[in-house]
Amino acid sequence: MQLPVTPSMRLDGRRAVVTGAGRGIGLAAAAALADAGAEVTLVARSATEIQAAAEAIRARGGKADAAVLDVSHVLRVDAFFAERPAFHVLVNNAGTNRPKPVLDVSEADYDAVLDLNLKSAFFVAQACARRMVAHHVKGSLIHIGSQMGHVGGPNRTLYCASKWGLEGLNKALALDLAPQGIRSNTIAPTFIETPLTQPMLADTAFMASVVARIKLGRIGQVEDLMGAIVYLASDAASLVTGTSLVIDGGWTAE
């Protein structure tokens, strides 16, 4: 009897790019992809963080370089991808949040959150995919969404709007790019302890309310997402596209 062989989750020989890679989920994504054998380009606005991160990855035996880029500038995004060989993997991670009651939201708040979380995500994915198609490279686009792209949350009208929009964008990207062998998926985490969320989680009442909704009883850590990122990037997920991998400890199960 010939048994089926488990598809590999190794990424040797593949090039990956991670936006917002200097800290938090982006840093974890870069480390995970490098551990799996990918050559990773870490992208962020701050050179100091991504250079240090790339050095740490190389010290651990991985392949990594750093590139300063503000993904909110579409022309610079286009130039960044045009100047490099096509990537096999994109982790579309750069994002922000301005939690406040809906009656207090300003136009500046709206533009800051929607422009980065949705507009920039679109144009980064477009530029990456254009390069992949032009060079006949099949691969995986992974967008870091949120459980708030599947449910609502108080004081999070802008964040929810951007992450629900990302879910729709993801599905449409998957349909448009499937003929070229390019997959598109989101990862939708619950609250993960990162520099972005630490100020919110420092509020003991807020922390208690969050943990009460997470059925597994704890805040997420970036390590909880690393396996999912490698899976979606790898051949093990070769038939997975247009979906969302919800990593929420049970938050959205009820």
DSSP string spanning 145-181? Answer: --GGGTS--TT-HHHHHHHHHHHHHHHHHHHHHGGGT
Q: Judge contact between 28 and 222, C-beta under 8 A.
A: yes
Quote the pLDDT of residue 174. 98
Query: Does residue 4 lie in a domain region?
Result: no
Q: Is 84 domain-assigned?
A: yes
Measured CA to CA, the distance from residue 241 to residue 244 in angstroms comes to 9
Rounded to whole angstroms, how far apart are CA atoms 122 and 22? 21
- Is residue 3 domain-resident? no
Q: Give the separation between CA 121 and CA 165, rounded to whole angstroms.
A: 10
Asked, for residue 9, whether it belongs to a domain, the answer is no
- Average pLDDT value for residue range 170-199: 96
Tokens of 50: 């991504």
CATH number at residue 137: 3.40.50.720
Q: Is the pLDDT of residue 239 over 90?
A: yes
What's the confidence (pLDDT) of residue 188?
A: 98
Percent of the chain exceeding pLDDT 70 equals 100
Half-sphere exposure of 151 (CA within 13 A, CB side): 14
pLDDT at residue 182 in the model: 98
The total domain count for the chain is 1
DSSP category for residue 23: S
Q: How far apart are CA 174 and CA 129, in angstroms?
A: 11
Q: Is pLDDT of 244 > 90?
A: yes
Confidence of residue 186 (pLDDT cuts 50, 70, 90): very high
pLDDT at residue number 196: 82
Q: Examine residue 253 and state whether it is found in any structural domain, yes or no.
A: no
How many Cβ atoms from other residues are within 10 Å of residue 59's Cβ? 9
238 assigned to some structural domain: yes
The answer to the question of residue 8 being in a domain is no
Residue 195 confidence (pLDDT): 87
33: pLDDT confidence band, cut at 50, 70 and 90? very high
- Domain residues for the domain of 26 are 15-248
Strand runs (DSSP E) across 27-152, as ranges?
Answer: 39-44, 63-68, 89-92, 139-144
Q: Which residues are catalytic?
A: 159
| Type of residue at 97 | N
pLDDT at residue 6 is higher than 90: yes
Cβ partners under 8 Å of residue 172, min gap 6: none
- Residue 2 belongs to a domain: no
For residues 147-158, average pLDDT:
97
Q: Report the predicted TM-score, pTM, of the whole model to 2 decimal places.
A: 0.97
Task: Compute the distance between CA of residue 193 and CA of residue 188 in angstroms, rounded to an integer.
Answer: 14
